[in-house]
Structure 1
Amino acid sequence: MADANEKFLGELLKKSGNNECADCGAKNPEWASYNIGIFLCTRCAGVHRSMGAHISKVKHLKLDRWEDSQVTRVREVGNNAARLYYEERVPPCYRRPNQDAPQVLVEQWIRAKYEREEFCHPERQNQYVSGFMEGFLMKRGKEDARYHPRKFVLSEADDTLKYHVKENKDPKAILRISELNVAFAPPKTGNQNSLQISFMKDGSTRHIYVYHEDPEVITTWYLAIRCAKLHRLQVAYPGASEKELLSQLTRDFAREGFLWKTGPRHSDAYKKRWFTLDNRKLMYHDDPMDAHPKGEIFIGHSSEGFSIKTGVPPGAKDQGFSFTLETPDRSFLLSAQSEDDRAQWINVIQKVIQKPLTPQDATVAARLVRKRTASGTMNIFSSTSNFIGLSSRLQFTRNKMGHESMVK
């Protein structure tokens, strides 16, 4: 009978929906929760097991012995039916994790579905969809790199995220929700429950790092920021589709890692820098957790004179696995750690160059400046003529979207 049950489970896996993990979508799941009736990947099965058998009872499809009643339960439910029930009312702003998502996000998604049943009982979602949230997070110091408790206040109505050094004093900083990005940052901080919040300040990007001991709390902050951004975008762009707006909420960085770059002159020595590609901003830092990048490159469209290619210009120094990023103002000579690393950087930057520009891109380009000389003079990374053309075209797009929404 055991062999028959194993064979039957194998047949169930071939059914639509069952051939991928019910929680993260990973292909070819090897586990199942037999009381819930779903198929799971190894990582998600571990989270289910950590919730306790009173929530989810997990078995391996081949290595464990299955009772007839357990097989029957999985057959009667299956992944598709379970999703219809447990994910009935997932808010649009909620980030559904895939197999590459951070561990803390996967864990809280699973606990929200089965332990807290937030999507069967939407009144349990109030904290992150309400538009307001306050509480203490541990924030990394700008200079000393130590973490200190800081009070944070999120207000969708005011479009602000504030943090206070002292609870009853004026805020140390006031960030605009609509302009910031938030991403999970475990690889940098070494803490699974950490976030990196990035925003523009005085023409440059500023990064702050925060964490909380409770993974549910830090995930709730992440979701609250996403929800507040979505609600404000819905007001600002009433003619835009929900799919378009969701893509603007939060971004994981397309790629990060160490590269070597020269100075403005091709004869300058290559120096090691930590690069971060954030949408159309390519930032470089001395250290992965620097509060400010040393420089930022706005990557526009190919029609504006942006391109990337293997190698360096004739006469320039080639250091190992070099490549060149061309902008209207300057050629950036870069070198990767290996041939594969170079290929991946070129591929991801090329996708950015080929991607159509958005109205939000014009805002970033307009505010992004950097020091070009020791005297502190400032310039936009893209050339003035190209930037004016970019702004005009994107302003026309914004006006057209507004006009279409009024016509509708």
Structure 2
Amino acid sequence: MANREKNKKILLELLKRPDNSRCADCGAPDPDWASYKLGVFVCLNCSGVHRSMSNRVKSIQLDYWEDQLVAFMKSNGNASARALYEKAVPVYYYQPQQKDYEVLREQWIRAKYERMEFTGETKYPPISYTTGFYEGILWKKGKDNMQFLKRKFVLSDREFTLTYYNKEDESKGPKAVISIKDLNATFQPEKISHPHGLQLTYQEDTHTRNLYVYHECPEEIVTWYNAIRAARYAYLKTAYPTGSDEELIPKITRNYLKEGFMEKTGPSLTEPFKKRWFSLDSQSRKLLYFKGKLDAEELGVIFIGTESKGYCVKECIPKQARGNKWKFGVMVETPERQFVFMCEQEREQREWLDVLRQVMSRPMAPQDYTIVPESHNSDCTIVCIKDFHIIISTDMYVQLQQILYQF
């Protein structure tokens, strides 16, 4: 018993070292498991992946540790493992954190310890996401239905494009050629109802276009994700040649700051409320709303500026609300108009208030001014229809919005 307690005390002391105080794989604080095959300290979630790979693990608190295993952990640890298994991780490769989806964490762990992808040794054939070109089949959701069909995708960082075909036969030409410039990829397993679900977003004319895809193989979908990140990184290095990796890496891909359903009314705040799916893109300062959460195109976009530019968000109780089933209101004020949304729960109301204030409190970057509405502090609004710009009065704009809201 004394030996058991002594070894446990040694392991707990090892955990106090800075490199061991966080999970070797996802960075979760206070890891309480360890792989005595690799000599790393990991969290409970990551320990399950190691166990599935036969990287023998034990609980530091609950299991008995033999002297030789404790000695092995003392002579290794997270820093030593990182120096070996993470020696050559590409700067664009996404290293998942504690709250990331399981498919990302599992494939990161397998890439490190099972496939040995980051030891710096030359591999042949080369790892797919390092080549600048990748092609394969993904299951893609139809634009107007929930049916997922096999489609061929081709990614090229030489041409900075992602191309997909409606049929595997390429002779009929591509269905779409997507510029890497505005492409984003984010995992959405719950939204797509598949553990490997990936949402691809890009700009098409003046609209945001969404593609929803998945692959049955977890390694394949994560390879696609990191291949897209590699292509995006190559584009950013070309577009911003003086940009540092510290500046460019956060721009490669991004998750939405918050998503969810809210009820929305029209411009005069008297129209019936309708349920809409909202996505807050913090990087572009856009609050997009859709009829359904898997829609291909948005119904509208609200630019979220700063308080100094006339934007604010607050709780509200609409006086003339019609048709709303939910009771917790959020009002977003812009220089053009007020937007009123209703949340189902008070918790959701608080979350939306917090994230919107977070965006409003962040100073606008130079590129933000290219998308800010030109009608600020004006009695006129510029309406863009394809390649035409029409200047109308703000009152007429509100009436137009009321008509369009019915569709």
In the superposition, the TM-score normalised over structure 2's length comes to 0.86
Contact 1:137 1:210 in 2 (8 A): yes
Q: How far has the Cα of 1:50 moved from its partner?
A: 1.1
Q: Distance in 1 between matches of 2:130 and 2:369?
A: 29
Pick from 6, 13, 19: which aligns with 1:4? 6
Contact 2:92 2:226 in 1 (8 A): yes
Pick from 172, 189, 194: which aligns with 1:191? 194
> 1:208 and 2:211 equivalent?
yes
In structure 2, the partner of 1:268 is: 271
Q: How far has the Cα of 1:379 moved from its partner?
A: 7.7
Distance 1:134 1:360, change over 3 A: farther
Q: Distance in 2 between matches of 1:308 and 1:96?
A: 34
Q: Secondary structure at the match of 1:276?
A: strand
Give the RMSD, CA atoms, in angstroms: 2.6
Q: Distance in 2 between matches of 1:307 and 1:121?
A: 50
Contact 1:230 1:245 in 2 (8 A): yes
In structure 2, the partner of 1:93 is: 92
Distance 1:379 1:278, change over 3 A: farther
Q: How do 1:4-403 and structure 2 match up within 5 A?
A: 4-51=6-53, 53=54, 56-121=55-120, 123-124=122-123, 126-166=127-167, 167-168=169-170, 169-279=172-282, 280-311=285-316, 315=319, 317=321, 320-362=327-369
Q: How far has the Cα of 1:332 moved from its partner?
A: 0.3
Q: How far has the Cα of 1:301 moved from its partner?
A: 2.8
After TM superposition, the structure 1 stretch with the greater mean CA deviation from structure 2, 264-273 or 111-120, is: 264-273
- Counterpart amino acid of residue 176 in structure 1: S
Contact 1:129 1:224 in 2 (8 A): yes
Q: How far has the Cα of 1:105 moved from its partner?
A: 0.7
Q: Distance in 2 between matches of 1:304 and 1:371?
A: 18
Distance 1:219 1:365, change over 3 A: farther
Q: Distance in 1 between matches of 2:20 and 2:328?
A: 43
In structure 2, the partner of 1:398 is: none
Q: Distance in 2 between matches of 1:359 and 1:236?
A: 15
Q: How far has the Cα of 1:354 moved from its partner?
A: 2.1
Q: Distance in 2 between matches of 1:17 and 1:214?
A: 32
- Counterpart amino acid of residue 29 in structure 1: P
Q: How far has the Cα of 1:355 moved from its partner?
A: 1.9
Contact 2:316 2:331 in 1 (8 A): yes
Alignment size in residue pairs:
374
Distance 1:264 1:73, change over 3 A: same
Q: Secondary structure at the match of 1:91?
A: coil
- Counterpart amino acid of residue 128 in structure 1: Y
| Structure 2, gaps ≥5 residues long | 375-380, 395-407
Q: How far has the Cα of 1:340 moved from its partner?
A: 2.2
Q: Secondary structure at the match of 1:267?
A: coil
Q: Distance in 2 between matches of 1:358 and 1:246?
A: 16
Distance 1:107 1:84, change over 3 A: same
Q: How far has the Cα of 1:269 moved from its partner?
A: 2.2
- Counterpart amino acid of residue 302 in structure 1: E
- C-alpha offsets along residues 352-403 of structure 1, whole Å, 9 cap, x if unaligned? 1222333543555589xx99899xx9889xx9xxxxxxxxxxxxxxxxxxxx
- Counterpart amino acid of residue 145 in structure 1: M
Contact 2:307 2:361 in 1 (8 A): yes
Contact 1:26 1:98 in 2 (8 A): yes
Contact 2:87 2:120 in 1 (8 A): no
Q: Distance in 1 between matches of 2:82 and 2:370?
A: 39
